[in-house]
Structure 1
Amino acid sequence: MTEQGNPIKQGKSDVVRAARLSVAPMMDWTDRHCRFMHRLISGEALLYTEMVTAPALVRGGALHLLDYNAQEHPVALQLGGSDPEELAKAAQFGAKAGYDEINLNCGCPSDRVQSGTFGAVLMKHPNLVARCVSAMREVVDVDVTVKCRIGVDDQDPHEVLPRFLELIVQAGVPRVTIHARKAWLQGLSPKENRDIPPLDYDLVFEMKKQFPELHISINGGISDLETASRMLDQGLDGVMIGRAAYHQPWDILGDADAQLFGGTTQTTARQVAMDMLPYIETHLSSGGRLHQVTRHMLGLFAGQPGARRWRQVLSTQATKDGAGPEVVLDALKKMDEAQAV
């Protein structure tokens, strides 16, 4: 079911178009099962993997972390690391696997990321970031992009961010996604870093004025398509949505193709649930367990009548030994019964 080196890889222009709306890379969330469902909902949005560390690929040989389904395109691989040579090798693995973009993580604030000298701590080392992306660009023919914060700790974003962008642009980065918050590497947890530091959207818009040729996507606190559309209308090139796209995937992605890409809405949330059944069958036949897939489906009907029953059935039944597609069908049935009351 999953494969590497897929012949229908997107061209660069297709990926740039898809970057108009992207789903953020989120550890433990945007795995291949999640991405497959998201692709069923939107045929256009750019999807990102969870962060995969370069050491895991290069030193650990964990190439299974690059597995994905051909239907996920356009899909980008996010790498974590800070050694130019190692990142170059990891980027080669990603390009060979058929990913449409290689993205360098300069925004994650977790302790385990800091200990490896990558993620948001790289905002303190812009010259190193430039060397890393240069090394990656030399060995792959897909875009090498960066996801960053506006700064970290006591840095002044108005000074730090322009210099950071200047250096990565000089290194050949054509696209960047800016999480419009600082990251506090000491004193705040990763969860708190997603909420507590104030958002500074104005600074991201200012960066677009200073770097008009750089494709800039904005990330952080965006929870609906209306806001995304407004930011695009105001001059940004792309919008990246994280938690809202995961917890309410239909609300974010269901109308995205029509609202942001000039296409049409091709499916329904219920049809997506049904379309997941063959995927689930294949996953189970290869030794997987049902909850590995259905945990990403809990929010599919968020805000709709009967959604609570849908979540209850999947949460309680999918983890049981031998659970199969019938659990999803039962969840749909119970949701229908709740709606009829």
Structure 2
Amino acid sequence: MSSSVNPKGEYNRDSDYLSTRITNDPDAEYPVEPGRYRLVVARACPWANRAIIVRRLLGLEDVLSIGFCGPTHDQRSWTFDLDPGGVDPVLKIPRLQDAYFKRDPNYPKGITVPAMVDVQSGAVVTNDFAQLTLDLSTEWTAYHRDGAPQLYPEPLRDEIDEVAKRIYTEVNNGVYRAGFAGSQEAYDAAYERLFTALDWLSERLGDQRYLVGDTITEADVRLFTTLARFDAVYHGHFKCNRNKLTELPVLWAYARDLFQTPGFGDTVDFVQIKQHYYLVHTDINPTQIIPDGPDLSTWLTPHGREALGGRPFGDGTPPEPTRDSERVATGHGAG
């Protein structure tokens, strides 16, 4: 993500994204159309991980192809170094920046994932990660699988938006605010805000299985990707160390519940996550040493959250098993 640190040492994320939308309006510049777009992601990135999860839960694999960047990038761009020859097999480019420059030859901002690319033109349509997943839920409904869950149900949207906003500002972005703080004062304030929010979430989830309503929604997807990275990266690397996730009983049980739900834990690549943060952020980790821990097997231990009721997929069903071509590499998950 493109970002900066202000003179007070406070981390500021650049939130000015390419906000063009892909909609179900056939007259739109970019209408929903099977096979027309490619979702470019990196498993390491929490914002991209959301899009991987939502695409899988909704069963859009046949209509929206996916391209995986490697876990590290240089100052210029995410790269396709996991693919043969280091070139995306569909877009035929080695760097995601090539698709951004197709959209705008003078594109001045960070080259970010997730990004939706128009395969016909090779140009990025949008990198607005928050709107992107909502549109997959609301604009792509004609192509959802049978039994796809309602991740953004209309009666709950105001509450989902409200909860998701606090999760974004205080938790998703809060860990970065602590990790990239350029002064003690900025770090102290970020640390306090983060753990205040985590305490609020623990209280909210103490007697309900999911964040909004009794099923998994967009709000849960947004929180999960930060929790999945918490002990492996944010606790040490970003100095978010009041508690480990494993020391927060409610959030740890909630995170395991989601991790063990098809479509969540099977998208998490802990090896790539650690490679990304510890190798790319040389200002924080100049030695580029990647920690061996933590023990990941505990993600698969019983969580007991079923006792709270709730129906993970509502009236829907779990997604099909992950396709072979999209599976997390053996040894990279918690198993």
Structure 2 length-normalised TM: 0.30
Q: Which has the higher contact order (CA 8 A, sep 6+)?
A: 2
More helix by share: 1
More strand by share: 1
Structure 1 length-normalised TM: 0.29
